[in-house]
Structure formats: structure tokens, C-alpha cells
Chain A
């Protein structure tokens, strides 16, 4: 029989209290590490780039010389490349991704095939970008070059298509970016479409809407906050994507409006030059990194804000 002592109320012992309190403080400390890392990244990149900021100021954003010999640096080519590749890849990937998401959330095909398509798109996100870059260099680019040449031949009068495709360039970079951001757009759109209440759909069908009228006028508007958030996240990812783009974009600092010519993005420039840069080149690269970080921060914060404020209340 158990002694009476086993059932007595007792206060926690000192070591127990210390462990309990200490554990809480430890988790608080670990949670603050996120803030610490984020803020130190911002500060370090900012302070490393102050020298270049003081020397070139905002001129850095609009000139495109990049000459380590004469110490003249301007990142316009890279900024243009970053923006044009990410925006154009978005233009292609959004209809593809949202279309796919609609296809696998509607009841067009059996559940099992839907799941397989969904899984395959998500596995696409698991392929490292350097492998996609390798594939782009040796398989995709030679394959699409004839098509790009046709574009140049017949539409060469458009400034954006005004150079002859010679191999690596911004156009293949855009295509490989499409492959990389498609999974993000698809899986986030799929989640937000799945969350649309079923009664909205029934109501639309009930008043005689066809399937696609219901999709365009009821379901997509109801899911628009999540989809927009996903698209913005994809934009952030596309702007910061490094390896695949570096391998296929041609890494040329000669400015050209044409997407068929070789170009540069900020991240490609960092990947290429950071290892062997010194002196004011490091500072200029840090300045470029700072610009990239501000761009992605704005896009990401905007994405979070959109998801919060645009979501429809049913």
C-alpha cells in the first residue's frame, strides 16, 4: 500500500522551477535569433555597401559601366535583367500555374490523377536549381534556339527582340525561371482554391452559371488573396534565384533591351564576381546585394500584407 506521503500536495522544488523558467527563456532566446539574423543580414549588407553608396549614389542604379580597372560601377544592366526576367517569367507562369491549380481542384479528372499531378508539380520544386541550370545549358537552350531565331527573324523590329540569339541569354533564363516558380504558384493557388467554401460554388451553379462562369466570377475572386500572395512570393523567388539563371543568362554586362541577348541579374553578378572581388568592387557588389534584398523584402512584405487585407470574408 502506498504511503500517505505520495498523495500530499507539494510545491515544486527549486531545480524544477529553474528548469521550467530556464526552458522558457531559452525558447524566447531561440525565437529572437530569427530577428537577430534578419537584422544582422540587413545591417551587414548595408554597412558593407556604404562606401559604394557614398561614391556612386543613385547614379549606381542608372548607369551600366562595370569596370574594375577604372573603378567605375553601375548596376543598371543587372537591375534591368533582374526585373525583366522575373516579371516576364511571371507573365508566363501565372496563367500556367493558376490554370493547373484550377484543373486539379475542379472535378475534371479522378482524384488519384489529381493527386499525382499535384505531387509531380511539388516534386519539381525539390529539384535543385543547379540541376535545372545544367539541364537548361545542355538540353533546353540548344532545343529552343531555332524558335528564338524565328522570333528574331520575324519580330526583330521590336526592341525587346532585336538581337540574334547566340546561345545563353535572358530568354532561356526566363523559361527556366518559369519552371522554378511554377510549383510555388500552383501549390499556393491550389490551397487557396480548395479553401473556397463549397456553398459559394453551389450558389453559382444554382442560379445557372456554367462551370467557367462560376470559376471566373465566384471562385477565383474568392481565392484571389491567396493567389496574389503566392504570385508575389514567386516574384520574390524569381528575383533572388541565382544558380540556374547564372548558368544560362550569359553573364554579360553590356546593356541591351533585347531579351534574346546575354544579360545579367543581380544575383548572377554576385555569384560570378563575389569570390574574386576586392576593394571597391566588393562594396559595389554589396550595394547591388542591398538593392536585391530591398526589392525582395518589399515584394515579400507586400505579399504578406495582401494575404491579410485582401482576403474575402464569407
Chain B
């Protein structure tokens, strides 16, 4: 047999090589397919239903009345309020915890336990945090005697956000070069001054990106809300309304998808459109900003 070093396409190892490459390419296209299908369907189906009334009005009670199904205005507002409450709780606590882990802790048992706990907490199913808040807050009426409320929903969401905020703060602060810290401590600044005026500002952008992504995830969650915030057909009219049932886009989609009437199903599609646009928008913008930041 004559030996040479030319590439022989018919060799079995070369054939199997090409075959495997082809298979992995097919797998990659299959992996991208659901996103394309879901997005196009939501955009076309939901987008065609969008009009100003729909974005402002309250939904009407279920019925087969295509003309007067109402809108999703209160659900949009509710989603923003509850995500806002969740951020008010989880961002200070999460950033504080992240500061402790990265700046103060010396890799002892306590900090390892907290890191471990953060990972475990981020793996707790979202419905469990709903069950927890239901048992602790809704049933006990601990918050000014209110039961199902926007506050309870916000707290349930904050449990989901907390691990994300801690992790991104911890990782963002770790990226700050130690020289900066040493310089600041060297000119006589206290730890507090160093953290607040030097390290936190230096890592602000990466922390903010992570927090915003966590926020976007919380805004799309449904499971923690279905028996903490429940649902409401009405706009909020005053501040005290956060102590009562509150609607959200995700719960509206869930409730109305299961209604037998087409009018409500269409509202569900419209709400999906709004939710997906908001979430994808946040995701893409925050990724762009963090990419721009890393290129500098």
C-alpha cells in the first residue's frame, strides 16, 4: 500500500468526523428553533392585537365578547409595582451580603456557608417561595391584616432575586483590582469609605447589569404570585391598594390562557407580547451596555 499524507475523504474516520460535525450543527439549529418560533408567534399574534385602549384599560370579566374584553393596563402597572417592591427588598440586602462576601469575609466557615446557601437558594423552585410566603405572610395576615396582596407578591419575588443580586455583587466586586483597595486604605481611608467611594463605583456597571437581569427574571415569574398576589380586575387607585390583591402580566396570561373564551385568550397573547418585549428589551440593552463597558 502506498502511503501519503494527503487528506483522504473516504477514510472512515474522516467520514464519521464530517457526520458528527453535521449532527452538532443540526443540534445547534434545533436549539435555536424554539426561540425563533416562540418569538415570531408571540410578536405576530400578540402584536396584531395591540392598541392604546388595550394597554390602558382594565380587563372585563370573562365572557365571549371580543369587542369589549377590556385591556391589560392594571396588569402592566401591577407587574411594575411588584417588581419594584421586590427590588426595594432584595437589592439592599443582596448588595450588602455581596459586599460582606467579597470585602470582609476571610473564606471562613460562615462565608462558605453563605455562598453555599446562596447557591442552594437560587435552586429552590419558584413555587416553593410562593408556598413559603403564603404560609408566613398571607395566612398569618402579618402585614396590617392584609391577606393576598401586592406586598406579599413582591416579597415572594424578592426571595427569587436575592441570590442573583448577591452573586453578581460578589463577582463584580472581585473583579475590582486589589491595587485600588490598597491605595485607598493606604491613604488612610476606612473600609467603609473604601467600599462606598472606591470599590462599589468601580464595579457599578457589572453589578447593575446583573441586578437588572435578575429583575427581568423576577418580572416574568408567575408561580410565586398565583397564591400570594392573586389577581385583580381593577386599576389601583391609591397607595393602600398594594395591601390588596394585585394583578400582574404573568398571572393574567396564566388565568386567561385557561379561559374557554377567545376574547380572554387574545388578551393573554397581547400580555405575552408586552411582557416578552419588555424582558427581551431589558436583556438586550443590558448586554449591550456591559459589552460596551468591557471593550473600554
A247 CA to B34 CA, complexed, in Å: 18
Question: Does A57 belong to the interface (CB within 8 Å)?
Answer: no
Q: Which residues of A have CB within 8 Å of B222?
A: 128-130, 242-243
A286 CA to B124 CA, complexed, in Å: 15
A24 CA to B105 CA, complexed, in Å: 10
A240 CA to B131 CA, complexed, in Å: 13
Show the binding face of B for A, using Cβ within 8 Å: 13-14, 16-17, 20-21, 23-25, 27-28, 30-32, 34-39, 41-42, 92-97, 99-101, 103-105, 111, 113-114, 116-121, 123-132, 134-136, 159, 162-163, 166, 190-192, 195, 216-217, 220-223, 226-227, 230, 250, 253-254, 257-258, 265, 268-269, 272, 275-276, 279-280, 283-284, 287
Q: What are the nearest 5 A-B pairs in CB distance?
A: A240-B125, A128-B220, A30-B96, A99-B27, A300-B123
Question: Does A267 belong to the interface (CB within 8 Å)?
Answer: yes
Give the number of residues in A that approach B within 8 Å (Cβ atoms).
87
Given contacts A120-B35, A271-B127, contact A130 B132 (CB under 8 A): no
- Best-buried of A30, A106, A124, A240 by chain B (most CB within 10 Å): A30
**Interchain nearest-CB distance for B72 vs A (Å):** 14
Q: Which residues of A have CB within 8 Å of B254?
A: 130, 133, 243, 246-247
A138 CA to B163 CA, complexed, in Å: 34
**B120 near A126: Cβ-Cβ < 8 Å:** no
A212 CA to B21 CA, complexed, in Å: 8
Return 14 A-B CB contacts under 8 Å, by A number: A16-B190, A19-B192, A20-B192, A32-B114, A48-B135, A100-B24, A100-B28, A108-B24, A127-B279, A131-B272, A131-B276, A211-B21, A242-B127, A297-B123
Given contacts A100-B24, A120-B32, contact A304 B280 (CB under 8 A): no
**B192 near A128: Cβ-Cβ < 8 Å:** no
A40 CA to B128 CA, complexed, in Å: 12
**A286 near B131: Cβ-Cβ < 8 Å:** yes
Q: Which residues of A have CB within 8 Å of B221?
A: 128
Q: Contacting B279 at CB < 8 Å: which of A37, A128, A236, A239?
A: A128
Question: Does A210 belong to the interface (CB within 8 Å)?
Answer: yes
Show the binding face of A for B, using Cβ within 8 Å: 12, 16, 19-20, 23-24, 26-35, 37-38, 40-41, 44-45, 48, 95-97, 99-100, 102-104, 106, 108, 117, 119-124, 126-135, 137-139, 179, 182, 186, 210-213, 233, 236-237, 239-243, 246-247, 267, 270-271, 274-275, 285-286, 289, 292-293, 296-297, 299-301, 303-304
Q: Which residues of B have CB within 8 Å of A182?
A: 31, 34
Given contacts A32-B114, A34-B97, A48-B135, contact A134 B217 (CB under 8 A): no
- Further contacts, 4 of them, CB under 8 A, given A130-B253, A135-B37, A135-B41: A23-B192, A35-B113, A45-B131, A127-B39
Q: Which residues of A have CB within 8 Å of B27?
A: 95-96, 99-100, 103
A23 CA to B118 CA, complexed, in Å: 21
A195 CA to B132 CA, complexed, in Å: 38
A40 CA to B222 CA, complexed, in Å: 22
**Interchain nearest-CB distance for A134 vs B (Å):** 5
